[in-house]
Amino acid sequence: MTTTKCNPDRLTIERLAARTFVVLGGIFWVVAAFSAERVYQGSSTLISARNALLPLALTLIVLAVGWFFEYAVSALLAIGAFAVVVWGLASGWEPGVWTLMISTLVAPMVISGTLFLLAARMQHVCTLEYAAAAKPEAAGLTPR
């Protein structure tokens, strides 16, 4: 059995990468939702902006929740990726749509969810190490 040691640099990189994936994905989907409505449907700017609010709101929710509850947001992203796959199966997407949705939605959700999970686990390891260093008796360790 291998033991994981606290690595604050790795923790910071995992958190930063997870949040970057969420932000970049959110920007992509806000622009895509706005542009698709505006260009293909010929809708007004106000209607297009209204339709872009959903991906913006979801992105902000994931960032806000993920800032404090990394395990919860990891599960939320996994459920979201699964829901996209179910949506595709139920809608009967063609291969081009599958490729687009997997590369622009499912994969980034899985990657950021995994990074949030890894960051949460590293935070737990660091918390245990710091607690053991502060009070070895409380952690079940005896000082030598």
The secondary element (H helix, E strand) that includes residue 53 is helix 45-68
Mean predicted lDDT score pLDDT of the chain: 88
Backbone angles phi, psi at 99, to 5 degrees: -60, -45
Residue 59 falls inside a structural domain: yes
pLDDT bin (cut points 50, 70, 90) of residue 20 is very high
Question: Is residue 102 included in any domain, yes or no?
Answer: yes
Indicate whether 3 belongs to any domain: no
Give the other-Cβ count within 10 Å of 55's Cβ.
Answer: 19
Parent domain of 112: 8-134
Establish if 140 belongs to a structural domain: no
In angstroms, the CA 74 to CA 118 distance is 9
Could you tell me if residue 144 is inside a domain?
no
| pLDDT, average across residues 67-82 | 94
Q: Is residue 141 situated within a structural domain?
A: no
Is residue 108 within 8 Å of 25, Cβ to Cβ? Answer: yes
- In the chain, what percentage of residues exceed pLDDT 70? 92
pLDDT for 137 beyond 80: no
Could you give the CA distance from residue 51 to residue 33 in angstroms, rounded to a whole number?
6
CB 73 within 8 A of CB 62: yes
User: What is the pLDDT, as a whole number, of residue 99?
Assistant: 95
What is the per-residue pLDDT for 139? Answer: 55
User: Does 123 reside within a domain?
Assistant: yes
Q: What is the pLDDT of residue 71?
A: 94
Q: How many CA atoms lie within 13 A of 100 on its CB side?
A: 9
Domain membership of residue 69 (yes or no) is yes
What total number of domains does the chain contain?
Answer: 1
**What are the tens digits of pLDDT across the range 22-50?**
999 999 999 988 888 888 877 788 888 88
* Crossing angle of helices 45-68 and 70-91, rounded to 10°: 140
Express each pLDDT in 96-119 by its tens digit. Answer: 999 999 999 999 999 999 999 999
